[in-house]
Amino acid sequence: MEGSEELRETLVAMRREIDLLRVEATHANLLLNALDSVLCVDGDADPFAGVFSALLPVFEYSHAIVLIENDHAQGTLECAAASRDSLVGSIWKAGRTFSKVLAGRIITTLSSADSEEWPDGIDVGLSQSQPALYLPLRVRNRRGLLMLLRDCDSSGFDRTHVALARKFSLLASHAFAATRANQTEAESHRLKQLTEQLKASQAELTFRANHDQLTGLPNRSHIQELVDAILMRKQPGQQLALAFIDLDNFKQVNDFYGHAAGDALLKRVADRVRAEIRKTDLIGRISGDEFVFILDPFREQAEVSALIARIRDRLQQPFEIDGARIRVSASIGVAFFPTHGSDYETLRRNADTAMYQAKTTSKGSIGFFNQTLGKEAAEKISLEHSLRTALRNRDFRYALQAKVDIRDQRIVGFEALARWVDAQGRVHPPGKFLALASELGLLDGITNIVLDALIDDLPRLDACFGTDVSYSINISAAQAAKIAFMEQFVQRIAGTGRAGSFTLELTEEAFVAAGPFQSRIFPLLREVGVGVSIDDFGTGYSSLSILADITADELKVDRSLITSIHQRPRSQSILRAIESLSAALSMYVVAEGIETVEERDFLLNATSITCGQGYLFHKPQFVDELIRSQTPTMPMPASGERFSSAHPSSRSPQSSALSF
Ligand code: C2E
Ligand code: MG
Ligand code: MG
């Protein structure tokens, strides 16, 4: 999945918003019920029983009391209704708190009513330390108030409650006015209007809570409800297919064309899929660039395959957006009910697994779930579990790989590379855990462990290599855009007083688009004096074009360009272009992944690159081993000898058997 970390954050935010909307919609509905009970009672009948029960789930109170100004005794209030019957008719004094409420204020307190206001001679049975909410209420043209009390040990009422109380206070007062026999036309008109408004906003809230605002499609929770309802009605032998669509390269579209174009694209994707499916089918958007659709009914699976292939082909046609021709593809995974699951969540997960597998094989393809995939998914879950435990136990270390001056092999710097050392002592490279750690939101923790350990080791490293060498740390593009994380990370480096010894390696994706990295973090790095390196240069989406927008200190040419460079004229031309651009922009060039003497010799003889990194010189090593292996420089191997990455045990002049 593309930019999974960013999408995950968006998803979490969307879920939070939807949950809030759902709560708001429910509250609006309950308030309407409360009003209904005011409006529906005849004559002098008590409307409060209905009001109390409708308000209970909204305000979660333990006691509700309605007090009305007493015409017979000035400065007192009479209890007109209460959730505890014995209080009805009791007389309360209008002290400071009550007077403010009668004058129209809503008040919340953590310890309940001013005891002076409480009725004499009656055991109210209430404690003085209950959180309370008071709201004004005009009942049949008399001033009054509603008092809601919670149990002593519960939390107080918050701002949302106050906002709801305000709405209720206003509407209920109008409702009481309207039920009076001498109600005026204007009053009843106003009440009708208010009730209509509340009903409309409730309908709107319900729609918004169930639908994605961008595409208007059912959202994650609604599609789940719809599908589960369909599945409940299924008879034995009836099938259903659930397909999971994920757009390929959506993140790049967003980065390259901007978020407005990204949004427009999502709408158009939804339209195209909607145009292909049948009336009985369903489609929903469940997160950023992920959609599900339900094919129901169908007779043979071939029907499903044909329809899905048609949708996939339609999505491959270019989209014209704001004058740009944008091409995307979609990877689609399918799971069948009941074979692959009997509820929405299982079907969705299995279709997602099938999609992921299809995307890994080839973007824009279709995959059908099978039990082998289920096994792989189970392995992923187990890895997820191990990774979370590993982070809790801080089972991550770092290895250092030297950057050398390729003319004399002098070490000029080191790159810190994360390693996971599992409970059995096995060392896993980042390829095994990085993507998943990032997807799970664990990468920041790992990066902090690497930095902490490196800072702890600095004195030993200084003693061995001097203080002139630099130390690079890799930061993913998603991390680079997280302001809070990066600020804390950079401050930690600055705290060493050696910011100039550190460099952050970022891939090109971190630099594209005017994101938070460019506007906030990059200037901070400059201010503090931490170096910036563009890692894996030449593998990204935009490569040369980003150099126009950003100045970095170092540019690391990706291994894919360096491998067999002496035999590849096209790569040589590209390297020359990179080299001259870097020179013009005063960037220091490092060649990554030098494995053979021929590659090194080409760089030495045909380019001006002097810095390199690769197995030919050093493999990554843990600090203890690195320091121990510091022996006087040995002669370089003769031409033709190669240190293969596939064989970690292969000889390298300065790496020990423990290197990896
Ligand atoms: P990278 O930053 O481009 O690091 C270089 C990778 O190439 C390292 O792999 C290194 O061991 C490998 N390498 C170096 N010289 C040679 C060579 O001559 N031949 C071959 N075949 N490979 C060579 P490693 O340690 O597996 O790291 C892979 C990638 O994982 C790194 O690529 C970097 O993007 C990422 N990474 C590593 N540590 C961290 C970390 O702490 N945080 C983040 N965000 N990413 C990390
Ligand atoms: Mg790197
Ligand atoms: Mg690299």
Per-residue b/e over 381-397, b at no fewer than 16 CB within 10 Å? Answer: eebeebbeebbeeebbb
Note the ligand closest to the C-alpha atom of 504: 2
Cα-to-centroid distance, 516 and ligand 1 (Å): 25
Q: Is the pLDDT of residue 37 over 70?
A: no
Alpha carbon of 249 to ligand 2 centroid (Å): 23
Ligand lying nearest the CA atom of residue 450: 1
329, 315 Cβ separation under 8 angstroms: yes
CA distance 245 to 366: 9
pLDDT at residue 445 tops 90: yes
**How far apart (Å, rounded) are the C-alpha atoms in residues 134 and 14?**
34
Does 640 have pLDDT greater than 70? no
217 CB within 6 A, ligand 1 = no
d(CA 115, CA 128): 7
User: Cα(238) to centroid of ligand 1, in Å?
Assistant: 51
Ligand positioned closest to the Cα atom of 563: 1
Give φ, ψ of 641 to 5 degrees.
Answer: -80, 140
Residue nearest atom 27 in ligand 1 by C-alpha distance: 430
- Residue 590's region, left for phi above 0, alpha for psi from -120 to 50, else beta, is beta
Ligand 1 atom closest to Cα of 429? 26
Counting Cα atoms < 13 Å in the Cβ hemisphere of 645 gives 9
pLDDT at 3: 47
Does ligand 1 come within 6 angstroms of the Cβ of 593? yes
pLDDT digits (tens, 9 = 90+) for 484-509: 999 999 999 999 999 999 999 998 88
Averaged pLDDT, 374-401: 89
Please report which confidence band the pLDDT of residue 616 belongs to, taking 50, 70 and 90 as the band edges: very high
Atom 45 of ligand 1, residue of closest alpha carbon? 474
Tokens read off for 20? 């809030």
| List of residues 6+ apart from 392 with CB closer than 8 A | none
447 CA closest ligand 1 atom index? 41
Whether cis (ω within 30° of 0) applies to the bond prior to 297 is yes
Which of 50-64, 158-172, 582-596 is predicted most confidently? 582-596
Q: What is the structure's pLDDT at 251?
A: 85
> Which pLDDT belongs to residue 329?
93
Q: Give yes or no for residue 404 CB within 6 A of ligand 1.
A: no
Q: Which ligand is nearest to the CA of 596?
A: 1
The predicted-structure confidence for 303-360, as pLDDT tens digits, reads as follows 999 999 999 999 999 999 988 899 999 999 999 999 999 999 999 999 999 998 888 8
Cα(103)–Cα(109) distance, integer angstroms: 17
Residue minimizing CA distance to atom 21 of ligand 1: 645
**What is the residue with the minimal CA distance to atom 3 of ligand 1?**
536
Per residue in 72-109, pLDDT (tens digit) is 888 899 988 888 888 888 888 888 888 999 998 988 88
Residues 6+ apart with CB under 8 A from 90: 78, 79, 119, 122, 124
- The answer to whether the CB of 505 is under 6 A from ligand 1 is yes
Between 444 and 179, residue with greater pLDDT: 444
For the segment 465-479, the average pLDDT, to the nearest whole number, is 96
Please state, as a whole number, how many other Cβ atoms lie within 10 Å of the Cβ of residue 365.
18
Give the model's confidence band at 641: pLDDT under 50 very low, under 70 low, under 90 confident, else very high.
very low
- Compute the average pLDDT of residues 163-183: 70
Cα Dmax for the chain: 112
pLDDT at res. 564: 96
| Alpha helix segments (H runs only) across 337-481 | 344-361, 371-392, 430-439, 443-465, 477-480
Per-residue pLDDT at 585: 85
- Whole-model pTM: value is 0.53
Structure-derived torsion over alpha carbons of residues 233, 236, 241, 242, reported in degrees to the nearest 10: 50
Cα separation, 557 vs 574, in Å, equals: 10
Contact 244, 292 (CB under 8 A): yes
> Whose C-alpha lies nearest to ligand 1, atom 8?
417
> Is ligand 1 within 6 A of the CB of residue 613?
yes
In angstroms, the CA 82 to CA 59 distance is 15
d(CA 411, ligand 3 centre) in Å:
18
In this prediction, residue 400 carries a pLDDT of 98
What's the CA angle centered on 646, arms 640 and 649, to 5 degrees? 85
User: Is 126 within 8 Å of 112 (Cβ atoms)?
Assistant: yes
The pLDDT score that the predictor gives to residue 645 is 34
Backbone torsions φ then ψ of 614, nearest 5 degrees = 165, 165
Rounded CA separation 552/507 (Å): 11
Residue 412 corresponds to which tokens in the numbers above? 């000029």
What does each C-alpha distance from 427 to 153, 399, 433, 622, 637 come to in angstroms? 51, 11, 11, 11, 28
CA atoms of 658 and 622, how far apart (whole Å): 9
Q: What is the pLDDT of residue 165?
A: 84
Which of 117-126, 444-453, 574-583 has the largest mean confidence? 444-453
Q: Is the CB of 431 under 6 A from ligand 1?
A: yes
Say if ligand 1 is within 6 A of residue 591 CB: no
The pLDDT value recorded for residue 377 is 75
Report the candidate in 411, 388, 414 with the shortest Cα–Cα distance to residue 401: 414
What tokens does 547 get?
């150099």
Q: Which of 539, 651, 554 is nearest to 610 (CA)?
A: 554
R_g (Cα) of the chain, nearest Å:
34
Point out the ligand nearest to the CA of residue 556. Answer: 3
- pLDDT-based confidence at 1, cuts 50/70/90? very low
The C-alpha atoms of residue 340 and residue 244 are separated, in whole angstroms, by: 14
- The CA-CA-CA angle for residues 229, 235, 236, to 5°, reads 130
Structure tokens at 496: 């060493």
Q: Is 417 in the pocket of ligand 1 (CB under 6 A)?
A: yes
Tokens of 6: 């960013």
Contact 459 CB / ligand 1 (< 6 Å): no
Give pLDDT tens digits for 215-264. Answer: 999 999 899 999 999 999 999 889 999 999 999 989 888 888 888 999 99
The partner residues of 248 in beta bridges, in order of sequence, read 329
Predicted confidence at residue 179, as pLDDT, reads 55
Beta carbon of 615 within 6 Å of any ligand 1 atom: yes
Question: Ranked by mean pLDDT, which of 155-159, 198-202, 583-587, 620-624 comes out on top?
Answer: 620-624
Encoded tokens for 477? 């593009």
Please name the residue whose Cα sits nearest to atom 11 of ligand 1: 620
**Burial category of 584 from C-beta neighbours within 10 Å (exposed 0-12, middle 13-18, buried 19 and up):** exposed
How far does residue 550's CA lie from ligand 1's centre (Å)?
23
Pocket of ligand 1 contains residue 448 by CB under 6 Å = no
HSE-up of residue 560 (Cα within 13 Å, Cβ side): 6
Domains within the chain, CATH numbers bracketed: 5-207 (3.30.450.40), 220-369 (3.30.70.270), 398-645 (3.20.20.450)
What 8-state DSSP symbol labels residue 419? E
Q: 530, 545, 431, 432: which is closest to 480 by C-alpha?
A: 530
Contact 192, 175 (CB under 8 A): no
Residue 137, both tokens? 């209420």
Q: Is 451 in the pocket of ligand 1 (CB under 6 A)?
A: no
The mean pLDDT value for 443-472 works out to: 97
pLDDT-based confidence at 533, cuts 50/70/90? very high
Q: Give the helix ranges, DSSP H, for 211-337.
A: 220-232, 250-257, 259-276, 301-316
Ligand 1 pocket, mutate which of 4, 406, 417 (most atoms under 8 A from CB): 417
Average pLDDT, the chain: 84
Q: Which residue has the tokens 């689609």?
A: 332
CA distances from 191 to 29, 363, 384 (A): 17, 58, 56
Q: Which CB contacts under 8 angstroms, 24+ apart, belong to 511-518?
A: 511/546, 511/549, 511/550, 511/552, 512/255, 512/256, 512/540, 512/541, 512/542, 512/546, 513/254, 513/255, 513/256, 513/258, 515/481, 516/481, 516/482, 516/483, 517/480, 517/481, 517/486, 518/549, 518/550
